[in-house]
């Protein structure tokens, strides 16, 4: 009890709570602007999709490249070897916990996959960075040694989160997209948005590469034309089609080219623009001469990329706020009677209203219950159960004298779901709009403030072990 009391006295709770609320308020204000624009009719569904496509294909890759390419170095990556292990443990445990809870609460595949993605993809940028900076300024005892300075503490924390964020971008734009793309069955998605088409398949640029083959089913006309033309060919004619057994075997070079084309097609099918940006940023970060050229000698290019990247998060929040506005659907009203005549009797109107309302009410209640369970599973797995399972590992590492990074990354254990989930879910279908809106609202507005402050106190307790 004395240790807890001393930690509470040495750790000012009110500044921590202010920092968390300030970060969340910034998110809420930008989100409200998106809701207002949508309500005014300036941000309809088509505009939302177009903005999201532009964001995913341009602004988000610029953000990832600017944050990683000029901040990491080979020396930093060697010093932080434990970060990938920590990140893999947190992501894996969160994924398994969400899957188990989804099965326990009998979620269907769509909602279970969403819960798994929300639990696995955590916010490692805005909220944790602000909270760690506040901790470094207000909380004593975070120094690793006597020569440790405030700037070193803040820089170390940002480097941790930057590396975790880099791996998180790889995860969310690869497996996260794959997981959510499989979540919605084809008969429920309707027309696939252009963004998902770019993510699932090859882009237009990749389709123009030589060696990229496309096939189409033969029509009856094609079959008849082929049969008629083949009947006039002599068996000795060079133009006669040869059976497979009579074709000459492929040379080693031809087999290698065919294998290379197949591998390249698989890579382009898997890669997304943010994932390409992450790969290129790591190439620049690991190549110090190239990093120096882009960072020092080509500063206009660097600043242009940075300015474009700064638009990504605000644009994501604006589109996310537009999800909260649900315009009235005309299809919900009863159709008119034939010949333009409608029932004018009071009894007919009452019957029609109750019949329509009863059907819609049952459907809405079923959907709300499923979404409520999904949001509950997502937040419970991401911010409660997974941290509770991993905290003993952090305590063990502190007692055994393992790298301090385990202690410093406690806040990432309970970080809420990443805001970029709005981009990924928009790329699959409109079915996730209400779900991501409710998840962000509950996790950031209601659960995050007390949870993040509580885990900050736990981190301070661990430092005193």
Most confident of the following: 26-40, 254-268, 406-420: 26-40
* Structure tokens belonging to residue 227: 């049969």
Q: How confident is the model at residue 36 (pLDDT cuts 50, 70, 90)?
A: very high
pTM of the model: 0.66
pLDDT at position 180 is 82
Q: What's the 3-state SS for 110-141?
A: HHHHHHHHHHHCECCCHHHHHHHHHHHHHCCC
Length of the chain: 465
pLDDT at position 307 is 92
Please give the Cα distance from 259 to 62 (Å, whole number): 32
Residue 181 within any structural domain of the chain: yes
DSSP for residue 327: P
| Chain segment 163-183, per-residue pLDDT in tens | 787 788 788 888 888 888 775
Between 197 and 72, whose confidence is greater? 72
Residue 248 within any structural domain of the chain: no
**Of the candidate ranges 38-47, 80-89, 184-193, 434-443, the one whose mean pLDDT is the lowest:** 184-193
> How many domains does the structure of the chain reveal?
1
Q: Which domain holds residue 96?
A: 2-210+265-326+371-463
DSSP for residue 418: P
Mean pLDDT of 232-258: 61
Residues near 398 by beta carbon (within 8 Å), at least 6 away in sequence:
406, 407, 462, 463, 465
pLDDT at position 161 is 73
| Chain segment 93-144, per-residue pLDDT in tens | 999 999 999 999 999 888 999 999 999 988 877 667 666 666 666 655 555 5
Per DSSP, which regions of 373-424 are E strands?
A: none
Q: How confident is the model at residue 441 (pLDDT cuts 50, 70, 90)?
A: confident
Percentage with pLDDT > 90 across the chain: 11
Please provide the average confidence, as pLDDT, over all residues in the chain: 73
State the helix-helix crossing angle for 60-69 and 312-323, rounded to 10 degrees: 140
Q: Does residue 208 register a pLDDT over 60?
A: no
Residue 340 within any structural domain of the chain: no
Residue 366 within any structural domain of the chain: no
Please give the Cα distance from 423 to 373 (Å, whole number): 22
pLDDT at position 373 is 92
Place of tokens 């930690």: 7
Output the domain CATH number for residue 21: 1.20.1530
pLDDT at position 17 is 75
Please give the Cα distance from 43 to 342 (Å, whole number): 34
pLDDT at position 304 is 93
193 within 8 A of 426, measured Cβ to Cβ: yes
Residue 230 within any structural domain of the chain: no
Per DSSP, which regions of 141-269 are E strands?
A: none
Residue 342 within any structural domain of the chain: no
DSSP string of 46-98, one letter each residue? HHHHHHHHHIIIIIHHHHHHHHHHTT--HHHHHHTTHHHHHHHHHHHHHHHHH
pLDDT at position 100 is 96
Please give the Cα distance from 221 to 198 (Å, whole number): 32
Q: Does residue 187 register a pLDDT over 70?
A: no
Residue 184 within any structural domain of the chain: yes
pLDDT at position 202 is 41
pLDDT at position 288 is 85
* Helix, strand or coil, per DSSP, at residue 294: helix
pLDDT at position 389 is 92
Residue 345 within any structural domain of the chain: no
């Amino acid at each position: 009890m004395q240790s807890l009391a001393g930690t509470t006295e040495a750790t000012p709770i009110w500044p921590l709570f202010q920092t968390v609320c300030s970060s969340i308020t910034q998110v809420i204000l930008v989100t409200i602007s998106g809701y207002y624009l949508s309500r005014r009719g300036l941000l309809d569904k088509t505009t939302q999709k177009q903005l999201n496509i532009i964001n995913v294909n341009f602004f988000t890759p610029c953000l990832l490249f600017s944050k990683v390419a000029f901040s990491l170095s080979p020396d930093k990556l060697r010093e932080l070897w434990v970060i990938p292990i920590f990140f893999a443990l947190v992501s894996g445990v969160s994924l398994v916990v969400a899957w188990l809870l989804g099965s326990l609460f009998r979620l269907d595949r769509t909602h279970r996959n969403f819960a798994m993605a929300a639990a696995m993809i955590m916010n490692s940028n805005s909220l944790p960075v602000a909270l760690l900076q506040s901790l470094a300024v207000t909380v004593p005892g975070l120094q690793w040694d006597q020569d440790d300075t405030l700037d070193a503490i803040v820089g170390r924390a940002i480097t941790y989160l930057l590396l975790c964020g880099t791996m998180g971008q790889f995860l969310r734009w690869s497996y996260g997209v794959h997981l959510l793309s499989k979540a919605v069955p084809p008969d429920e998605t309707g027309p696939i948005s252009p963004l998902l088409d770019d993510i699932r398949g090859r882009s237009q640029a990749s389709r123009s590469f030589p060696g990229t083959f496309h096939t189409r089913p033969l029509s009856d006309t094609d079959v008849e034309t082929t049969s008629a033309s083949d009947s006039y060919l002599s068996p000795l004619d060079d133009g006669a089609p040869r059976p497979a057994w009579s074709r000459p075997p492929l040379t080693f070079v031809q087999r290698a080219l065919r294998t290379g084309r197949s591998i390249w097609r698989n890579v382009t099918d898997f890669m997304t623009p943010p994932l390409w940006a992450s790969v290129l940023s790591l190439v620049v970060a690991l190549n110090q001469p190239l990093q120096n050229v882009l960072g020092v000698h080509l500063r206009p290019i660097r600043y242009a990329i940075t300015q474009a990247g700064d638009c990504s998060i605000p644009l994501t929040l604006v589109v996310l706020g537009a999800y909260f506005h649900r315009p009235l659907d005309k299809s919900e009203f009863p159709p008119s009677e034939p010949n333009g005549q409608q029932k004018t009797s009071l009894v007919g109107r009452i019957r029609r209203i109750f019949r329509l309302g009863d059907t819609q009410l049952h459907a809405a209640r079923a959907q709300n219950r499923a979404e409520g369970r999904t949001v509950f599973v997502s937040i419970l797995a991401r911010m409660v159960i997974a941290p509770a399972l991993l905290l003993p590992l952090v305590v063990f590492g502190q007692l055994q004298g393992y790298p301090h990074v385990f202690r410093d990354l406690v806040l990432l254990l309970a970080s809420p779901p990443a805001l970029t989930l709005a981009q990924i879910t928009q790329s699959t279908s409109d079915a996730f709009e209400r779900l991501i809106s409710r998840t962000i609202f509950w996790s950031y507005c209601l659960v995050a403030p007390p949870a993040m402050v509580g885990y900050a106190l736990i981190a301070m307790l661990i430092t005193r072990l």
